[in-house]
Copies of this chain bind each other. A is one copy, B any other.
Amino acid sequence: VGTLQAQFGAVVKRRRLAAGLSQEALAEAAGLHFTYISLLERGKRAPTIVVVKKLSGALNTSMTELIRELEQGDAPAGVGEGT
């Protein structure tokens, strides 16, 4: 991966696919534009904490969990469960 935003993009993509969502569906659920989701997943945007919160809600998880995955670089066994 590489930059922090590329790593975050990978976390979002992994979570989105685990949830069975298209980029369009995630965008709709998060109140963000579809093209922004595409840029984000490709590491072309560094999201603000406001965007991280919107994504966490749409992905049925918490900001803390998304950032934990970003820092640890792993996907927990429970990913997608929203536990």
Contact = CB atoms under 8 A, between A and B. Distances in A.
Given A70-B63, A71-B62, A71-B63, A8 B49 contact: yes
Interface in A29-83: 46-50, 52-53, 62-64, 67-68, 70-71
Interface residues of A, number: 17
Interface of A: 4-5, 8, 46-50, 52-53, 62-64, 67-68, 70-71
Given A4-B53, A49-B49, A52-B67, 12 more contacts: A5-B49, A5-B50, A8-B49, A46-B48, A46-B49, A47-B48, A48-B49, A49-B67, A49-B70, A63-B67, A64-B71, A67-B67
